[in-house]
Amino acid sequence: MREFTVLVYEAEEGGYWADVPELPGCASQGETLDELRLNLLDAIEACLEVQRTDGADLSPRPALRWELAVAERA
């Protein structure tokens, strides 16, 4: 089993969208977080299948996740 970093955002029009930095171009959306999760599982499987059929390197690109505190200017 492999683990991937998923970045989740609230969509302006409602619902959520997310992308997978280790798999460029792999993203999905959903009206709820549960729907998003299911859609992302399908998207990741599809992205990996495309890589397999294209003969691409299946190693995920490493992604670093940082949290930076930035002072807001008044």
**pTM score over 0.85:** no
Which pLDDT score, from 0 to 100, does residue 20 have? Answer: 92
Which CATH number applies to 1-74?
Answer: 3.30.160.250
Which pLDDT score, from 0 to 100, does residue 5 have? Answer: 87
Spans of all domains in the chain: 1-74
Predicted confidence pLDDT, tens digits, the chain (74 residues): 788 889 999 999 999 999 998 888 899 999 999 999 999 999 999 999 988 887 766 566 666 777 777 888 87
For the stretch 20-56, what's the b/e string if a residue is b when 16 or more beta carbons lie within 10 angstroms of its beta carbon? bbbbeebbbbbeeeeebeebbeebbeebbeebeeeee
CB 20 within 8 A of CB 47: yes
